[in-house]
A = this chain, B = another copy of it.
Amino acid sequence: MEYGIEDLICGDLKEFSLATENGSRKGKMGRKRNYDDDTREYKSKNLETERRRREKLSTRLLMLRSLVPIITNMNKATIIDDATTYIKELKGEVQSLSQELHQMEATIDETTVTKIDEVEVAEDMNKWVVQTELRVALIGANKLWVKIIIENKRGRFKKLMEGMNLFGFELTDTNLIATKGALLIEGCMQGMDGERLEVHQIKKLLQDIISDI
């Protein structure tokens, strides 16, 4: 070994510290003179304080370490590094999650609003002028799909049914909504005796029935 006197000094300091650690000399023997009376070694005033500080710090570091899931290294620096990356990760996760949640809430609110609008429209239907709508489409050899929206007046549905029956048609797979304001009929139409149906012909017929009532 080629260390100088400083090495000895440091060695002495080291031995001193170990001695204080192992011997656990913690008696306060005249604070003014920070010497061990037996060995004449110097004792710093904030030695134990500093020890506690270091211990506390390493404890906190271990607590932080226990929270971080991914471990790259047991180094102090990498512990902090992993913690920072983990915090960033969590931040991003929180952001994306809240964004997703808000988006979902927004869509739900949107649909709710739409429904509410529809309800309000339905409730105020009698104040409206109902736009008459008549659609007929061929969906089979002798099968038609029809959709009828007309203003609902007293006995109008009955008359419509009677008119259709008069011409020998029957509605199947029907959806019907009748409110005070409007009447919606949607379903499939079939000739009762299997005769062929023509779209424009049926449409004209339905128009006649509607305008008649």
Task: Give the interface of A toward B (CB within 8 A).
Answer: 2-4, 6-7, 9, 13, 32-35, 40-42, 53, 56-57, 60-61, 63-64, 67-68, 76-77, 80-81, 83-84, 86-88, 90-91, 93-94, 97-98, 100-101, 104-105, 108, 154-155, 157-158, 161, 165, 170-180, 187
Contact = CB atoms under 8 A, between A and B. Distances in A.
Contacts of A93: 94
A169 to B, nearest CB: 11
Given A2-B33, A60-B81, A158 B178 contact: no
Contacts of A170: 154-155, 158
30 contacts: A2-B32, A2-B34, A3-B42, A7-B42, A9-B9, A9-B13, A57-B76, A57-B80, A60-B81, A61-B80, A63-B80, A63-B84, A64-B87, A67-B84, A67-B88, A80-B80, A87-B87, A87-B90, A94-B94, A97-B101, A101-B101, A154-B170, A155-B170, A157-B171, A157-B174, A158-B161, A161-B161, A172-B178, A174-B178, A176-B177
Tally of this chain's copies: 2
